Amino acid sequence: MFTSNPFAALTEVLPASAMQVYVVLMVLAVVAGTLFDIIHKGSAKYFFESWRSSKRKGPQAIGGAEMASLAIKTGLVDVLASGEFCGVRRRVAHLLTMYGFVIYVVTTVLMVFRYSTPAIATPSILPLLWWIGGLMTCVGGYWFWFFIRADVSAEGNSPLRIIRADLFVLSLLASVTLGLIWASQQARASSATNVFFALYILATTVLFGSVTWSKFAHMFFKPAAAFEKRVSYANGSRSNLPAASAKPEQFARAREQPRHY
């Protein structure tokens, strides 16, 4: 089960080109949804305005070498290591989900396009990585959903409470979970295989087709925002120090012992 290509076996029901066309359509849906998000919400306009503002207000000029260093730090710390998350649990859950999903998607594309039929032998490492990536996504995603979400861990709300902002993580978990269930059912030649495949396709379509309404597009904006933040700190346009307008007596009052009535 863990070393067999589920998409190659699918050719007994569907032509290999069907899944290939579907993958292309999902990629186009992500591109179109992201572009619409940029235009409709003005994300790119806001970023460039913020970038120009920080460069204009910054008292210190940044050279090309320092700019390259900031870009490398952004890639290594903020993107690859999810440095934006201060809590260890949240960062680990995010990294599991992120890297698991990347592995899952890359191996899916390879198996669908390169090893699309049983006649082409699939290296056993690909299905194995596909399973590992899917399980990593599920572990990180369900851990976040049931134990780490702020409204669950801090506010005490039910983990079953759903709002529109949850569309991305829920559709992601549904897609990957149903994909793994479908593959396991297919390996056992279960009669429920086609049902789970249909549910898998439905959940995956929601995941990639709802980019405009979910947080999927945020993954493309976050690296740029993290880089702009590092640049603004480096050129002095942003500071961790309290605002200069704050009065000394305000800080003195904050240090007073609380009164009990």
- Which residues does 6 contact at the CB level (< 8 Å), separation at least 6? 111, 127, 182, 183, 186, 187
Query: How many domains, in total, are found in the chain?
Result: 1
d(CA 6, CA 14): 12
193-209 helix and 167-187 helix, angle to the nearest 10 degrees: 150
- 71 assigned to some structural domain: yes
State the residue range of the domain holding 132: 6-234
- 137 assigned to some structural domain: yes
* CATH number of the domain that residue 76 is part of: 1.20.950
- Please say whether the beta carbons of 224 and 199 come within 8 A: no
For 241, the token pair is 């120090």
- Average pLDDT per 10 consecutive residues for the chain, totaling 261 residues: 90 91 95 82 66 65 74 72 73 92 96 91 95 97 85 61 80 96 90 94 95 71 70 67 45 41 33
- 249 assigned to some structural domain: no
Instruction: Give the pLDDT of residue 18.
Output: 94
For 204, the token pair is 């995956």
- 148 assigned to some structural domain: yes
- 245 assigned to some structural domain: no
Instruction: Give the pLDDT of residue 99.
Output: 94
- 13 assigned to some structural domain: yes
- 244 assigned to some structural domain: no
- 251 assigned to some structural domain: no
Instruction: Give the pLDDT of residue 108.
Output: 97
d(CA 143, CA 32): 31
